[in-house]
Amino acid sequence: MNSTARPATAAWRLLIACVCSFTAFIWATQASALTSIGQGAFSASATKITFESLPGDNSDIPPGFASGQGIASFQGATESEVYADYGALLPIAATAAGLGNIGATWGCSGTCGTGFTLSSAKNKVGMFLSSDVDITVQVTALKNGVPLGSVTPSFAANTIGFVGFQDPGGIDQIVIGDNTADLGSINQLDNILLENTGAGPVSVTPVPTMSQGALIALSGLLALAAVFALRRRAT
């Protein structure tokens, strides 16, 4: 190898390090944009959408329901349902959690998740989930149809679970998948919380974005390309 090859080799090694570092920086930045938050992250002034005004007992949610509170539409297998139809224990848990007597169902045999779209993006979106069976469900936050990230919590039967997201760029849609812990079960969504600012204590957990895999793949391809070019330069 001649004397000019060594500086070229060092330059290519520096390029590889820079590419990997830059990709890792982008990956970490995107991963921390969407965070998972608890009920305590919402202030007392947050918009709360309940289903108490609906009749329950498998009644369709009417078009335009809660439009004045920021809901553009509900999607999927969503109807109103009384907690009492789940047995004796879940209504007690729902009352203790302040959820009232009526929520919105999702679930069936097959692809029967649910979700809702907002009329305008909110920085904080949360919801309560429950059932008389164990729940494991993927909940995804989106903006303009682009997934921002998702969580897959598990809640025990006859308990009240909470899922919340915060994103500085805003969230305008939530998609709730099937209950994989009990396929075909009917489950309950209730008390949707929406807020742009709040004074409540915030406990956040980074949520991986859907694009992280693509970024990792891009990082690997760039590194391979740099190594290939380095070998060609050295020969």
What is the full per-residue pLDDT of the chain (235 aa) written as tens digits?
Answer: 555 555 555 554 554 554 444 444 444 444 448 999 999 999 999 999 999 999 998 899 999 999 999 999 999 878 999 999 999 999 999 999 999 999 999 998 777 899 999 999 999 999 999 999 999 999 999 999 999 999 999 999 999 999 999 999 999 999 999 999 999 999 999 999 999 974 444 445 556 554 444 445 555 555 555 555 545 555 5
Residue 94: count of CB within 10 angstroms of its CB? 25
Q: Is 53 exposed, middle or buried (0-12, 13-18, 19+ CB in 10 A)?
A: exposed
Residue 37: count of CB within 10 angstroms of its CB? 23
Q: Specify the DSSP class assigned to residue 62.
A: P
Q: Are 162 and 129 in contact (CB under 8 A)?
A: yes
Distance, in Å, from the CA atom of 45 to the CA atom of 58, rounded to the nearest integer, reads: 30
In the chain, what are the helix, strand and coil shares in percent, each to the nearest 5? 30, 35, 35
Query: What sign has the CA pseudo-torsion 142, 36, 30, 140?
Result: negative
Q: What is the pTM of this model?
A: 0.75
